[in-house]
Structure 1
């Protein structure tokens, strides 16, 4: 029986898509969100075909207003179903690679807007209601590049490192009211964006870790689903590495 609703940003492909499908299979109603309506409908149709419940909301997260509008729409969907919006997965992200010198200001601003500003204002709009109810969980999707200096990923890594700090700050801020906040930090993962941006370097990066293989999006979704579940009720403020052991070598 569905007892709560989750908003998963950037859930029309990759890790977000896998997370939406996994949460739906776990009995959660899912608000699928992203920029591509066609891909969003495909995810919703797949969830419904498997017996789950989902609805798509188009969103291009880049500022306070877009985050507030998505938060309001997701809350409306949850309330119309008589359920709390109890899970927020901040997965939507913009990647950027290349040397520091020559990085255009527009790229810098776009990365920070999507990867940091949008999650900040989604939490600002949704966490207070969770706190008022005395329960809720927020999972931020980070990256190996937030903890390991990877050449060419300075802006992207910095945006996610800041998000990891917000994870800890929010855990301290909202924890006394029953809201848990954690990050999942994936290593090399076989997503359309990673494969397009890194190509063969994806395998080379994965080979540096003890397990030595590229993860599937479902591997990351499993960790997110665990942190969203009641089985993780005593876990908050944690950065969970899901990277094949890359941070131990």
Structure 2
């Protein structure tokens, strides 16, 4: 039996990177998974995982889409035990005064509002099962500033506080809420950033390298499983030591 045997999960941002790695790990550990992404790549991820995974194309910034992903988990697998709010976008890299208002709104809508909506619609379903585990992807950018990324840093700071707040609200009702704070991880997002920006982040990482998506998936698996049953409200950096000095 796997570490998530009998569990049903929804993973957003599931089409690539950390989300895809987590879907594969959850399925390998016995979970039934709804893999949500806006790109269409969730189809390939689900195909690779087999019958234990159902893909859904969706936009986490839209309430109707988020409601649908929770409903799909219930319809196909009978309930919901785990939500991994992983979907996120970077936005432009420009100083605050030059940052376009529409770009700021879009980053906040996906990265922060998407997490809020995920929890809003998942929590009632989890309460019907007696509890559950919610994992949110925040960022080390919620702890330290990255000039030129006001939308991203603001959104991730919000995710971290929303994680702690919701953990406090539902701890006594069996729902745990924790956040993962990735550092520089080898994903499509970092690959799209200017090379000198990423090189600078890696140079400031004490372990001297970029992280891997599977290293995030390993923590997500632990937080999703009953092995972390007494852990809630945590903000855990997975950043190779970037934020400790």
Deviations 1:65-107 (A, max 9, x none): 222222222322221xxxx310000000121122111211111
1:206 and 2:202 correspond: yes
Which residue of structure 1 lines up, in the alignment, with residue 164 of structure 2? Answer: 168
Name structure 2 gaps, 5 residues minimum: none
Give the match's secondary structure for 1:197: coil
Separation in structure 2 between the aligned mates of residue 118 and residue 162 of structure 1, nearest angstrom = 11
Give the structure 1 partner of residue 71 of structure 2: 72
- Once the two structures are TM-superposed, the CA of residue 153 in structure 1 deviates from its matched residue by 1.3
Deviations 1:195-215 (A, max 9, x none): 112434323212212211100
Q: Is the contact between residue 20 and residue 32 of structure 1 (CA under 8 Å) also seen in structure 2?
A: yes
CA separation in 2, counterparts of 1:133 and 1:66? 22
Contact 1:208/1:246 (<8 A) preserved: yes
Distance 1:203 1:20 in 2: 28
Counterpart Cα distance in 2 of 1:222 and 1:229: 11
Q: 1: distance between equivalents of 2:54 and 2:195?
A: 33
The Cα of 1:29 is off from its aligned counterpart by 1.1
Of 187, 193, 205, the residue aligned with 1:197 is: 193
Instruction: Find the aligned partners of 1:230 and 1:66 in 2 and give their Cα distance.
Output: 29
CA distance in 2, matches of 1:78, 1:102: 47
Structure 2 residue 95 is matched with structure 1 residue 99? yes
Out of 6, 11, 15, the residue aligned to residue 9 of structure 2 is 6
| Aligned position for 2:47 | 45
Query: For the aligned residues, what is the CA RMSD?
Result: 1.4
What is the alpha-carbon distance in structure 2 between the residues aligned to residue 152 and residue 12 of structure 1? 27
CA contact (8 A) 1:116 1:162 kept: yes
Aligned length: 241
> Structure 2 matches for 1:235-246, cutoff 5 A?
235-246=231-242
Does structure 1 retain, via aligned residues, the 8 Å contact 2:81–2:129? Answer: no
Displaced runs of 4+ in structure 1, greater than 3 A?
none
Moved more, 125-134 or 156-165: 125-134
Q: SS state of the match for residue 72, structure 1?
A: helix
The CA distance in 1 between the partners of 2:34 and 2:12, in whole Å, is 8
* Contact 1:206/1:214, CA 8 A, preserved across alignment: yes
CA contact (8 A) 1:132 1:177 kept: no
Does residue 116 of structure 2 align to residue 117 of structure 1? no
Matched, 1:23 2:18: no
